[in-house]
Chains A and B, each alone.
Chain A
Amino acid sequence: MDMERETFPGYRRPDGKVGIRNHVAILPSVACANGVVSAIASRVEGAVAMPHGHGCGRGGEDLGLHYRTLTNLGRHPNIYGLLLVGLGCEALRAPYLAEEVARSGKRVEFLEIQEAGGSRKAAELGASLVREMLREAESIRREEAPLSEVVLGLECGGSDAFSGITANPSVGLLVDWLVERGGTAVLTETTEMIGTAHILERHAAGPEIGLEVKSRVEAAERRAREILGPFASVAIAPGNMDGGMSSIREKSLGCIMKGGRSAIQEVVDYACPPTRRGLVIMDGPGYDVESMAGLAAAGCQAIIFTTGRGNPIGFPAVPVIKVASNSRLYEAMEEDMDLNAGTVLEGKSLSDVALELRELLLRVLEGEPTKAEINRQDGILCLYTTTPSL
């Protein structure tokens, strides 16, 4: 493979964004429509269901957050066409979500179960709409796009003591390479930056961005203290301490290694697409599945997910690349792991592992399925919330 190439074959969308997959997705506006969504997906081979637990029963702040998350997910460039399935009496109505997503120029359809005459009829109608969009999607061809169009999400979950010295720094070197080519990487999980606010501030592209980063990380620290109370001091889990992490800062330093050495160009809210290229921080939760929903809504075409204990979870319509931090995990869960960074512990250099990772990323951009895609580790969308339900 030509390692010096500057382009990848992708699907150019009407809004100018470039996808690396060409899916037709089915998104419920509310959890009450999940049954119909799965009925449609089971009738139509190749459709991607995106069930979730929200859309109603919450106050304004979370409704706004979920409206943004769902519409930005719907706009995702890996999705050619979207069917929104609503109930009819929920807070986040399907027609409004559809209208917002359609602003991107994307092919969007919607139906509402109450209007369609019940769940069976809604599933039939939905299946025919999805079949039609799948036929249209087949005519779309990949075309070369610059690597500067790549937006890569960064995630770590089920970490171990080696994540911060093998997998995460290898990803950091990959990010440095991508950023040099004008691409974008999104570092998130603000709770996993606790203790490093002053270090991240130093890595910001300007003083205003630096202050923004610092205030977000300090806010995450205060929130963690509120939630955990007396347990805040052991916010490093006992497992982390057994693994040799002596302070929360030491653990966080291992996490932020994924971002590499480039300057931080911007701080965006959860589920918001970056407006600048380069290294970007998305203020979001440390809970992996909610974090990935935010990264996908931010428009990341792929997510790199490092793990030490072994987490197989993927994400609907977005390839998730699993990087194992140690060989024991890689060998134990090889069918779920895309790359073994544990070879660093056996003498391989970080830059060699970063090269393997680059080749892998380029193949995934071209269409090679990740292990999570092969295993259909989509799960359900877990959306970040800030308040309890009503």
Chain B
Amino acid sequence: MAGANALIINEKDNVAVVLEDIPKGGVVTVSGGISLRAREEIPCSHKVALVDLPRGAEVIKYGEVIGRAAEDIACGSWVHTHNLVLEE
């Protein structure tokens, strides 16, 4: 996976962890050959959406639901506390 700058932990995941700071418009290359363009700046070790996640969609990391999209999240967007909610 030389050249990859993002990691998918589980094959079910719809977000990947970026391994370096990604600038807006920067290319995110995930192990397995997936490549996409960052819609915004994404800090190192944060998550990037690998697919479009409509509001209410399950956000999956480690193969498990870590929360739901609080708004429509487009592929290539930064996913964090501003757009992810964990139902109590």
Pick the interface stretch among A7-15, A52-60, A119-127, A245-253.
Answer: A245-253
Give me 10 other A-B pairs in contact (C-beta within 8 A), A244-B80, A253-B62 excluded: A164-B62, A169-B9, A199-B64, A246-B67, A249-B67, A249-B86, A253-B61, A344-B7, A345-B7, A347-B1
Q: Which of A185-221 contact B (CB under 8 A)?
A: 195-196, 199
Q: Which of B11-52 contact A (CB under 8 A)?
A: 17, 19, 43, 45-47
Task: Among B2, B9, B84, point to the contact of A246 (Cβ < 8 A).
Answer: B84
Chain B residues with Cβ below 8 Å from A254 are 62
A selection of 19 A-B contacts at a CB cut-off of 8 Å is: A161-B17, A161-B45, A165-B17, A196-B64, A199-B64, A241-B81, A243-B45, A244-B17, A244-B45, A244-B46, A246-B47, A246-B66, A247-B84, A248-B86, A249-B67, A250-B61, A253-B62, A257-B62, A347-B1
B residues contacting the other copy or chain, number (CB 8 A): 22
Which one of A246, A250, A347 has the greatest number of beta carbons of chain B within 10 Å?
A246
A residues contacting the other copy or chain, number (CB 8 A): 23
Chain A residues with Cβ below 8 Å from B9 are 165, 169
Q: Which of A226-273 contact B (CB under 8 A)?
A: 241, 243-244, 246-250, 253-254, 257
A161 and chain B: residue at smallest CB distance: B45
Task: Among B4, B43, B45, B67, point to the contact of A347 (Cβ < 8 A).
Answer: B4
Q: Is the CB of A244 within 8 A of B43?
A: yes
Q: Which of B49-67 contact A (CB under 8 A)?
A: 61-62, 64-67
Query: Which secondary structure dominates where chain B touches chain A?
Result: loop
Instruction: With A162-B45, A244-B45, A253-B61 as known contacts, state yes or no: A345 contacts B86, CB within 8 Å.
Output: no
Q: Is the CB of A246 within 8 A of B45?
A: no
Q: Is the CB of B66 within 8 A of A250?
A: yes
Give CA–CA (A105, B72) in the complex, Å: 65
Chain A residues with Cβ below 8 Å from B66 are 246-247, 249-250, 253
Chain A positions near chain B (C-beta within 8 angstroms): 160-162, 164-165, 169, 195-196, 199, 241, 243-244, 246-250, 253-254, 257, 344-345, 347
Q: Lowest 8 A-B CB distances belong to which pairs?
A: A161-B45, A244-B46, A247-B86, A250-B66, A253-B62, A244-B45, A246-B84, A247-B67
CB distance from A144 to the nearest CB of B (A): 38
CB distance from B30 to the nearest CB of A (A): 13
CB distance from B6 to the nearest CB of A (A): 10
Chain A residues with Cβ below 8 Å from B45 are 160-162, 243-244
Give CA–CA (A345, B7) in the complex, Å: 8
Give CA–CA (A344, B9) in the complex, Å: 11
Which one of A196, A243, A248, A253 has the greatest number of beta carbons of chain B within 10 Å?
A253
Give CA–CA (A169, B64) in the complex, Å: 15
